[in-house]
Structure 1
């Protein structure tokens, strides 16, 4: 698009000659961002003024691939340092207003478009590219945030499955709180790995602190118990409350003959210790 090349040259020339005025205009359009611009630079090494010029350059020079890649990088950076989306939106809209004010001034002084249609075509092109940047940024930000939360949840879930050795080849697994399929997967992975590496022969699973399990979760729990038996580990269940037993019975769970059930964890530990 020849018109965009002409606009790009004029805008870049102005910014090069009037850098400070351009920066001041940008900051005046984004009051909340302007008071935090140094903090954002110190916190995440994100130079907003430099990045504003980069965004304008990619838009006006019709570099769509670079624009999308830049938006994705920005999304990851803002998610990594937990910078708010409201600040980003305010900043990009400030860039949009500043750019259009600059183009308006250039149009008034130099008449860079020949017809009204040319101006509207340019307006659509520029705004579409800025919207494209925002869309790619938000998708990248959200995806990276979700990934971070998933990793944090995995860490927390692994920490919440403590396998405690009480004597050689005997360990305790206290299960506390609510259970869902995701947590059962963590339990399965950690228990099987621990049995393999630590040579656990008896695993005492205490259920006294666990909330009710849904039917599908009970089914997964039964499979874990079957897996323990296949690995040569004896399972001892303690702390089975009446409500949990009733739900297990109604779900049709049938414990393997190698699985023991005891009243309380304290009684069981006295026996093993």
Structure 2
């Protein structure tokens, strides 16, 4: 390795004086990652070469606080743009190997060889900092992905329980697709929260998009209706299909006294607005 060395240089100055050679060596060590450098820059605006030099400075100077902040920033960026973790690991390990090639060459050029214990102390400091970077990077990556998953889950829950305001005191809850216990748990929680937060007095639950209702789901629906009643609101079931109605009859479930039923959502809304107009 043809490098520049001036007597009295510390390892930091030696690396800076040979920055271009360091880059060449790093790219040789980087394997598959060097073919992805431009793609990673394009996708996530991440300059792997510049970031490698920054990481090396934090490692050599033992700037732990800066290194942790940088690793968290990197972890979030790689998670945000769904960049391959294998490439990141390969790249950081290539940086580690390149640092050690230069440390080895630096040690050879020193006029006096340092004691073995000093060399092993240097080895421990460098490797510990590389490991700290990787650990913090993966934690940051994981936290970002967890937040993203939670946000997506919240979006799915909101879409599966869509409240449509009709007036200041009335909302429509159209249910479409398959009802299972997991979804019913979400519906129950959202219904009670919305009644409390929005002051809903009448909740129209439209079942015209539900073809089949299993027994445990029907029982949970009754529990939701009971909860609505306890909260001081009125539930109105609309659009129940014949198949669902037959299942209710088979199960011996009777809505009488608990909830008002209407043949369709249109009928329920028409009756509501007619009665409101008459009151005025």
Normalized against structure 2, the TM-score is what?
0.74
1:203, 1:260 → 2: CA distance?
9
Q: Contact 1:176 / 1:211 at 8 angstroms: preserved in 2? A: no
1:197-242, CA deviations, whole angstroms, 9 ceiling, x for partnerless residues? 5956241242735675868x965x5553234222422232735477
Partner residue, 1:150: 150
Q: Contact 2:226 / 2:258 at 8 angstroms: preserved in 1? A: no
Report the CA distance shift for 1:111/1:81 in structure 2 as closer, same or farther (over 3 A).
farther
Q: Contact 1:175 / 1:210 at 8 angstroms: preserved in 2? A: no
Report the CA distance shift for 1:222/1:75 in structure 2 as closer, same or farther (over 3 A).
farther
The residue correspondences of 1:63-102 to structure 2 (distance < 5 A) are: 63-102=63-102
Partner residue, 2:5: none
1:45, 1:28 → 2: CA distance?
23
Report the CA distance shift for 1:155/1:21 in structure 2 as closer, same or farther (over 3 A).
same
1:28, 1:233 → 2: CA distance?
71
1:110, 1:32 → 2: CA distance?
34
Q: Contact 2:235 / 2:259 at 8 angstroms: preserved in 1? A: yes
RMSD of aligned residue pairs (Cα, Å): 3.7
SS in 2 for 1:177: coil
1:237-262, CA deviations, whole angstroms, 9 ceiling, x for partnerless residues? 7354777888x88xxx9968322468
1:213, 1:132 → 2: CA distance?
54
2:174, 2:132 → 1: CA distance?
51
Q: Does 1:184 align with 2:185?
A: yes
Report the CA distance shift for 1:138/1:202 in structure 2 as closer, same or farther (over 3 A).
closer
Larger radius of gyration: 2
Q: Mark the runs of 5 or more structure 1 residues left unpaired by the alignment.
A: 1-8
Partner residue, 2:210: 208
SS in 2 for 1:235: strand
Q: Contact 2:163 / 2:173 at 8 angstroms: preserved in 1? A: yes
> How far did residue 111 of structure 1 move?
5.9
Between Structure 1 and Structure 2, how many residues are aligned?
Answer: 255
Partner residue, 2:273: none
SS in 1 for 2:62: coil
Normalized against structure 1, the TM-score is what?
0.75
Which stretch shifts more, 197-206 or 40-49? 197-206
